[in-house]
């Protein structure tokens, strides 16, 4: 006779999803870091090089009229989360194509193939924060009460990336040219987002429209840790709304296309 104590407890669907998500995420991170001795360095080298170039141009070549001082800290506070955004959105174009066999054969919700990209890139972003801390100490940037906004910034950015990923991942299966289009859009979005400049640096009237880019409000939350005067609550409010809009559209698109995606991959 089988007793309740001898019967293994069945995991809830949510618990199974979380475990599968972590297994896939940890697999991605292990593959990425185990194949290179300088794995961690490579994850932060790109934003460091970019920050160094822009710092040199705007402080040594030209008289800087944008951003805040120390400018290198200002740059990194925008570049590091940007690398999370562009990395996750870019990889979402291959979310189903790269692991087509697993996508077809597994029975877990297929949204996990998008969410594991967002999570792994988000963990890499968290790993890069000590670099920002080192530069902040080296250049005398003081940590302020604005650091309390950091969890909200991470949450909003995760929501908007998941929403975009749920839109892009299935559509790329049907429209392969969308992958190249996304790369072009990301290049444009880099300069359309307040990374090398702040929202306040834009001409009068333009900052209102720039706030409809959710990254504008999100980046101001990150920078509030060192530059609380740059916190733009209007842009943050717009970012919160836009993040939820993207997530809602993403869930709708994903649900309506996933069956066709499974037949196509």
Q: Per-residue pLDDT tens for 213-238?
A: 999 999 999 999 999 999 999 999 99
Q: Two tokens at 61?
A: 């070549």
Q: How many residues does the chain have?
A: 265
**Residues 6 or more apart in contact with residue 174 via CB below 8 angstroms:** 257, 260, 261, 264
Q: Is the model's pLDDT at 5 over the cut of 70?
A: no
User: Minimal CA–CA distance to 78: which of 168, 157, 193, 161?
Assistant: 193
In DSSP notation, 203-220 reads: PTTHHHHHTTSHHHHHHH
Question: Between vectors from CA 184 to CA 44 and to CA 109, what angle results, nearest 5°?
Answer: 75
Q: What's the pTM?
A: 0.88
145-190 per-position pLDDT tens digit: 999 999 999 999 999 999 999 999 999 989 888 999 999 999 999 9
10-14, 21-25, 131-135, 237-241 — which one is most confidently predicted on average?
237-241
Using CA atoms, how far apart are residues 198 and 137, in angstroms rounded to an integer? 22
Dihedral sign, CA of 120, 121, 125, 128? positive
């Amino acid at each position: 006779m089988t007793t309740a104590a001898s019967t293994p407890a069945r995991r809830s669907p949510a618990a199974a999803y979380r475990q599968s998500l972590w297994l896939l995420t940890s697999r991605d991170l292990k593959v990425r870091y185990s194949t290179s001795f300088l794995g961690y360095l490579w994850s932060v080298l790109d934003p460091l090089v970019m920050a160094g170039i822009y710092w040199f141009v705007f402080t040594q070549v030209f008289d800087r009229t944008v951003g805040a001082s120390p400018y290198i800290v200002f740059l990194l506070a925008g570049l590091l989360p940007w690398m999370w955004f562009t990395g996750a959105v870019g990889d979402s174009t291959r979310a189903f194509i790269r692991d087509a066999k697993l996508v077809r054969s597994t029975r877990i919700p297929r949204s996990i193939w998008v969410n594991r990209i967002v999570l792994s890139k988000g963990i890499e972003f968290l790993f890069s924060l000590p670099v920002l801390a080192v530069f902040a100490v080296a250049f005398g940037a003081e940590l302020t009460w604005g650091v309390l906004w950091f969890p909200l910034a991470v949450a909003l950015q995760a929501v908007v990336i998941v929403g975009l990923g749920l839109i892009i991942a299935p559509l790329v299966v049907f429209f392969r040219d969308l992958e190249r289009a996304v790369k072009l859009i990301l290049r444009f979005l880099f300069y359309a987002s307040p990374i090398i400049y702040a929202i306040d640096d834009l001409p009068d009237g333009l900052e209102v429209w720039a706030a409809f880019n959710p990254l504008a409000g999100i980046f101001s939350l990150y920078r509030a840790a060192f530059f609380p005067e740059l916190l733009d609550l209007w842009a943050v409010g717009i970012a919160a709304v836009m993040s939820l809009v993207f997530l809602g559209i993403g869930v709708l698109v994903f649900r309506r296309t996933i069956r066709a995606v499974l037949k196509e991959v």
